[in-house]
């Protein structure tokens, strides 16, 4: 079995587009929702020195872009995420008298473990992990994985051809 060398960042930069097409500054989540989602994503993919954290992989901007995909909208993902945010913050306020983002990292983790005991909470966290994984591994063209940080961490070689403006999966629906 041959062993592939880790991807050469400079060669990958030559082979493809590493910026996503222009996206306006409108967000599909409110500032409150963005704060809660950022805190949850950082708990699920923390800055622990073992690889990129949620912010390093552009997880929140990627999630917002993914929530504009008609397939994800039709599946109800934006509404489900919204309901989970409200529920999570309510659990935090009930158990600790403050909102989720106001908790220490340790208490945030405790609240997440608590909600993971329910089917709704488990499904909500699973959906967020799904989108975190996409942000880590999809082509940077789609808004996550900036500068190939996820690919470099995983020693992944991207497929070919790479997406370019006008020829991405959304253009072929």
The tokens describing 148, both together, are: 């190939």
Q: Which tens digit of pLDDT belongs to each residue from 84-138?
A: 999 999 999 999 999 999 999 999 999 999 999 999 999 999 999 999 999 999 9
Percent share of the chain, pLDDT over 90: 69
Could you tell me the CA-to-CA distances from 149 to 9, 109, 155 in Å, in that order? 10, 25, 10
**How far apart (Å, rounded) are the C-alpha atoms in residues 130 and 142?**
15
Q: Which tens digit of pLDDT belongs to each residue from 48-99?
A: 999 999 999 999 999 999 998 889 999 999 999 999 999 999 999 999 999 9
**How far apart (Å, rounded) are the C-alpha atoms in residues 46 and 55?**
9
* Residue 165, pLDDT score: 78
Confidence band, pLDDT 50/70/90 cuts, at residue 10? low
Rounded (10°) CA dihedral 5, 9, 11, 17: 130
Q: What is the mean pLDDT of residues 149-153?
A: 94
**How far apart (Å, rounded) are the C-alpha atoms in residues 39 and 64?**
15
* Residue 162, pLDDT score: 82
Look up the pTM and report it: 0.81
The tokens describing 152, both together, are: 């470099």
**How far apart (Å, rounded) are the C-alpha atoms in residues 99 and 93?**
5
Q: Which tens digit of pLDDT belongs to each residue from 26-42?
A: 578 999 999 999 999 99
Q: Where are the domains of the chain?
A: 27-156
Sign of CA dihedral 6, 132, 76, 170: negative
Query: Quick check: 15 pLDDT over 90?
Result: no
109, exposed or middle or buried, with CB in 10 Å at 0-12, 13-18, 19+?
middle
Sign of CA dihedral 96, 100, 105, 109: positive
């Amino acid at each position: 079995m041959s062993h592939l060398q880790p991807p050469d960042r400079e060669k990958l930069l030559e082979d493809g587009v590493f910026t996503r097409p222009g996206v306006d500054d409108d967000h599909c989540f409110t500032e409150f929702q963005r704060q809660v989602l950022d805190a949850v994503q950082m708990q699920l993919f923390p800055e622990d020195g073992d690889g990129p954290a949620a912010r390093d992989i552009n997880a929140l901007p990627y999630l917002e872009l993914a929530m504009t995909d008609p397939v994800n909208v039709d599946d109800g993902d934006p509404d489900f995420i919204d309901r989970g945010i409200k529920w999570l913050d309510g659990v935090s306020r009930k158990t600790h008298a403050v909102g989720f983002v106001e908790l220490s990292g340790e208490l945030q983790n405790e609240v997440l473990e608590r909600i993971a005991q329910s089917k709704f909470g488990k499904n909500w966290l699973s959906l967020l992990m799904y989108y975190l994984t996409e942000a880590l591994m999809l082509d940077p063209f789609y808004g996550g994985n900036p500068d190939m940080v996820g690919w470099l961490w995983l020693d992944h070689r991207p497929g070919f051809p790479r997406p370019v403006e006008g020829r991405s999966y959304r253009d072929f629906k």
